A = this chain, B = another copy of it.
């Protein structure tokens, strides 16, 4: 506790409401699968893929943290209103730029003010 919710492939989920719930809270790490050591490497974390999340005052994505295995690389915090505010929905998206020196496993945590912590699948990056 707090519970770390983990992504489940929504194609294997039957109920539409559950697909939506899981997808809209899940962080997804988007980046190239290879990086050059010592060079800037863009990593986009997007919350939700097929569904959008509310941006209500009492229910919004407040932060997104990027980890390389156990090490935090960066974190972005947001306020209700970033995605249009009360009654609107969207996909929190942030692009961090990091320099990797060796093979990495990138993971993101998203925090929803109502439904807590959500962990992305890990994405392996080969660094040469």
Interface residues of A (CB under 8 A from B): 1-4, 38, 40, 44, 55, 57-58, 62, 67, 69-85, 88, 90-99, 101, 105, 107, 109, 111, 113, 115-117, 119, 122
Contact = CB atoms under 8 A, between A and B. Distances in A.
B99 A97 contact: no
A80 B73 CA distance: 9
B93 A97 contact: yes
Contact of A70 (B2, B62, B74, B76): B2
A99 B74 contact: no
Given A90-B40, A99-B83, A78 B74 contact: yes
Given A1-B67, A1-B69, A93-B97, 9 more contacts: A2-B72, A40-B93, A57-B80, A58-B80, A62-B72, A72-B79, A75-B77, A79-B113, A90-B99
Contact of A72 (B72, B88, B101, B111): B111
